[in-house]
Structures are given as structure tokens and as C-alpha cells.
Amino acid sequence: MAETTREIKRRIRGISNTKQITKAMELVSSAKLKRARERLDKSRPYYETVLHNIQEILGSTGNVKHPLLDIREVKSSLYIVIAADRGLAGGYNGGVIRLAEKRIREQNKDAKIIAVGSKARDYFTKRNYNIVGQFIGISEDPQFSDAREIGSLAMDLYENKDVDEINLVYTMFKGTISQVPTIIKLLPSNEIDEEKKERKTITEFEPSPEEVLEYLIPKYIQSSIYGALIEASSSEQAARRVAMEAATDNAEEMIDELNISYNRARQAAITMEITEIVSGADALK
């Protein structure tokens, strides 16, 4: 019985140590989430307005040709998959990776991957996907320069006809307990096509439509990627905070149950000792 109580105490100590770690990670994630949400709240109106305005302008270009607006038969697709560099974030990484892999299997075409985050890189590398670019160490604190670098690589592949479409896979931040894996097509853009169909005004471009497109299309790609990076950063911290909070709560429940078991075992041991003492005293009479 004494062996049992020692074992229970050892388990309680082990779970308590784990609880301290998960609690600390929860507090760290809460602080990072607060900063990420402040950044998202400041950035989201900006890049959404930029995207809408650029799409509206691109939709007014009429039949102007540009290499990045060419629509061709899709033989090879590019997927920019934004995941995290670290785990312990619940289903955050799994959700966005599964969405990308599901789309790849549905299309059943040649797929190239730009992996953002070590989790995406490791997953697709182990499964022998064609990774044409990887960006590690930027998932928690993305900068616009990161989006510019990713966008330049993607546009080069599209312009050189190495890929026929560009898809962006990321996790949209809806709230602290709600993050939604999302996939959008950057090129050729369905939103630009819709703007062209709804165009009702005539727009003049200076110095020329071609030069305006040469400037705007990279901005459209880079702003879309930057927005996705910001959304994913907030989603990652929210998912990790919720996961660590759940782990801490589970640890507390396990400790409470083990304390009950320990008290019962200790009570049983004391009862046994009293019984033995009484029995010995009765034997001496």
C-alpha cells in the first residue's frame, strides 16, 4: 500500500510540472495574441482596402494584356501554404495542411509548394511534394518584406509558365476560439474577372495601362500574401493559447483525481495499521 501512495505522489509531481509548463505557455501565448490582434486590427482595414481598390482598377483595364493576367490551361498549380514553425497549437497546422492536400488530390495535377513555416515544410518534404521555396522563422512576426519575397518567387514561376495558377492557403482569424482554414486563388484572380464584368465606367491610365498593371499586379499579390500572413499569425497564437489552456485544465482535473486516490490509499493504509495494532493488543491479552 505504501508503494501505491509513492507512485501516486510521483504522478502528481510529474503532472504538476507539466501543468506549470502549459500554464506558462498559455500566458506567453496570451501576450503574443494580444499584440497579434492589435496588429491585425490595424492592418486588416488597410490591406482589404488596397485589395479592393487594386481589383477595381485591374477590372477597368479592359482587354489589356499582361503576362501575369494570362489565363491558360492548368497543368501545374502553385500552393503557398502558411503554417507555423512550432507545434502545440491544437489543430492549427493540421487544418491548413489538410486543406491544401485535399485540393491537390482533387485537382490531380502537378503541384508545387511554397512552404511558410517548418511544419508545412516538414510535412510536404516527407511526402515527396515538389517544394520550390521555403520560408522559416517568420510565422509569428511576419513583415511586408517577407510577403514581397514570397510574392516575387510566385510571380516568377507564373510568368515563366512553370505554374499555371497560384493558390494561397492560410488560416483566417475569426476569433479567439474560431480560426478557419481558407484557400484563395491569386492568379488568375476570380475577383478581377468579376470586377471586369461589373465595370460601368471608363478609366484612363497614365502613362499607359501596361505600365499601371506592371506596378499594380505585384502590389495585389504582395498585399494578399501579407494579409494572409497577418491572419495566420493571429490564428496561430489563438490556437496555441486555447490548446495550452485546455492542457492546463486537464492537468488540474488529473491532479484532483489523483489527490482523491492518494487520500483513499493513505486512509486505507492507516486503517490497516490500526487494525494490526488492535489485533496485536488483543493477542497479548
Q: Running along the chain, 285 residues long, what does each successive block of 10 average in pLDDT? A: 75 92 92 90 82 71 66 87 91 93 89 94 93 93 92 91 92 90 84 52 65 80 91 93 92 92 85 80 68
Q: For position 78, what pLDDT does the model report?
A: 94
Q: For position 51, what pLDDT does the model report?
A: 75
Q: For position 3, what pLDDT does the model report?
A: 52
- The third-level CATH classification (topology) of the domain covering 26-241 is Pyruvate Kinase; Chain: A, domain 1 (3.40.1380)
CATH code that applies to domain 2-22+243-275: 1.10.287
Cell of 26: 498559455
Q: For position 234, what pLDDT does the model report?
A: 93
User: Rounded to whole angstroms, how far apart are CA atoms 31 and 46?
Assistant: 24
Q: For position 47, what pLDDT does the model report?
A: 77
| Every domain of the chain and the residues it spans | 2-22+243-275, 26-241
Secondary structure of the chain as H, E, C letters: CHHHHHHHHHHHHHHHHHHHHHHHHHHHHHHHHHHHHHHHHHHHHHHHHHHHHHHHHHCCCCCCCCHHHCCCCCCEEEEEEECCCCCCCCCHHHHHHHHHHHHHHHHCCEEEEEEECHHHHHHHHHCCCEEEEEECCCCCCCCHHHHHHHHHHHHHHHHCCCCCEEEEEEEEEEECCEEEEEEEEEECCHHHHHHHHCCCCCCCCCCCHHHHHHHHHHHHHHHHHHHHHHHHHHHHHHHHHHHHHHHHHHHHHHHHHHHHHHHHHHHHHHHHHHHHHHHHHHHHC
Q: For position 1, what pLDDT does the model report?
A: 45
Cell of 141: 512576426
Q: For position 190, what pLDDT does the model report?
A: 61
178-187 and 76-82 strand pairing: unpaired
Length of the chain (residues) = 285
User: Rounded to whole angstroms, how far apart are CA atoms 185 and 37?
Assistant: 25
